[in-house]
Structure 1
């Protein structure tokens, strides 16, 4: 018995899939521009791939990695390493907390809370946030070292200043994208704007704000370690010292401590996100 093929309905119209590129498609032009930018970037950079993958280069990298793979685990050195690791952790925690507070205070004038909000300070505040996060942490640390001197204080302030610009922009975007219904319901009842934010907007965006803060804390652990290179204390200062003396065993131990510290912070951040998601 032969199988009967289904026949198309009389009014059913089969259409070919759209072409990959359409001159009226804005997204297509955007993708084409990005592709051209990638090609131009590869063309403009002097990427010496053959030299990088040469036998001589690979042998040198292998010899250097082998020296780092024999960390120094002496009791005297580990006694110096533990306070430096705790100092790096403290720098990241204090810098992130200060940045959360400053970022939230700057996010309020940098965001438009509702359609009727004039948001007079939105432009200048966003320009300030752009300036804060455009300057790298190393540059902020170098500037603050002049005023605060060597040590973790300058590094902590550098983390706080740079992260304030990052979190302020992210917080402002979250506040502007919050649903307007609850806030509008309170506003029509004559509730002051401050209480509207606390009772309507903040509960909506608080999980997202906490997620951004935890993510920046993870980044600040690595940044705090790097800031020690310019004399801001912590593991980075030990790394710069021993690497400058070509003491590869001690350098490998410091790098191992950084990996352990970042892993612990990542695990703590994961637990905190799971707890907030319940």
Structure 2
């Protein structure tokens, strides 16, 4: 038999299956690329984009956008901080390092939290807490707890247990042994994960405003619904400035932190 026959190369069959699935997806969705790149669609998109080229830079509206940007920043920061604290509490039993809560129960809870999208959590929190930043904070905190808890637990599982065990053998308590034996090994990575999720939550906090989570997103939704494109353009500029500033600050913090804990 020819050794190059595809039957002896399962990777070829897998690649062929993926290509067939992609082709079937295009056929099933019926995507109209001709309409997307047609002259009429291009003119409509250019006309719509052109309406955002003259932002409202009046002092009163810029001040209003800046206040909404601070609210978005606060929502993302508080939501991420809450998620880090809750994520640590669930990561300890999920990693099997601490007893009390069964590991499978903690992992199941983390899976449930992160499997529900932020927008769904926000819709539920708006019903519970009403419109405004509180709903956004709770929505971000719940979903991000599931994400960070999973990352934190995996970091704990990969951390060597000997330092903590040595402290426990010397008579130290469980909490002291963890803080001095394991926390120095995982703390830097946890902080880096938290910063990365904060970057993502800045963007998501603006989206949550569309369902009543406050901040820039709620402001953008209001002006778009009234076809006030000049004001919407100013809100978009505020979003860009906020995201770029947080991304730059977070990147510098991670670069300065990780080498010290490598």
TM over 0.5: yes
More moved, 97-106 vs 48-57: 48-57
User: Out of 219, 230, 244, which is 2:211 matched to?
Assistant: 230
User: Out of 155, 158, 165, which is 1:174 matched to?
Assistant: 155
**CA gap 1:174/1:70 in 2 versus in 1, 3 angstroms:** same
Contact 1:23 1:29 in 2 (8 A): no
Tell me if 1:241 matches 2:219.
Answer: no
Contact 1:159 1:224 in 2 (8 A): yes
User: Out of 63, 78, 89, which is 1:94 matched to?
Assistant: 78
Q: 1:69 Cα deviation (Å)?
A: 2.0
Unaligned runs of 5+ in 2: none
**CA gap 1:110/1:36 in 2 versus in 1, 3 angstroms:** farther
User: Out of 86, 89, 93, which is 1:109 matched to?
Assistant: 93
**CA gap 1:70/1:123 in 2 versus in 1, 3 angstroms:** same
SS of corresponding position for 2:40: helix
Alignment RMSD, CA only?
Answer: 2.6
Matches within 5 A, 1:124-273: 124-187=105-168, 189=170, 191-273=172-254
Aligned equivalents of 1:232 and 1:244: distance in 2?
16
SS of corresponding position for 2:163: helix
TM-score norm. by structure 1 comes to: 0.83
| Structure exhibiting the larger radius of gyration computed from Cα positions | 1
Q: Looking at secondary structure, tell me which structure has more helix per residue.
A: 2
Query: Paired residues, what number?
Result: 257
TM-score norm. by structure 2 comes to: 0.88
**CA gap 1:57/1:112 in 2 versus in 1, 3 angstroms:** same
Aligned equivalents of 2:211 and 2:82: distance in 1?
21
Contact 2:6 2:12 in 1 (8 A): yes
Aligned equivalents of 1:100 and 1:158: distance in 2?
14
Q: 1:88 Cα deviation (Å)?
A: 0.5
* 1:121-147 CA distance string (max 9 Å, x none): 111111111111111111111111122
**CA gap 1:212/1:23 in 2 versus in 1, 3 angstroms:** farther
Tell me if 1:75 matches 2:82.
Answer: no
Contact 1:129 1:168 in 2 (8 A): yes
Contact 2:93 2:99 in 1 (8 A): no
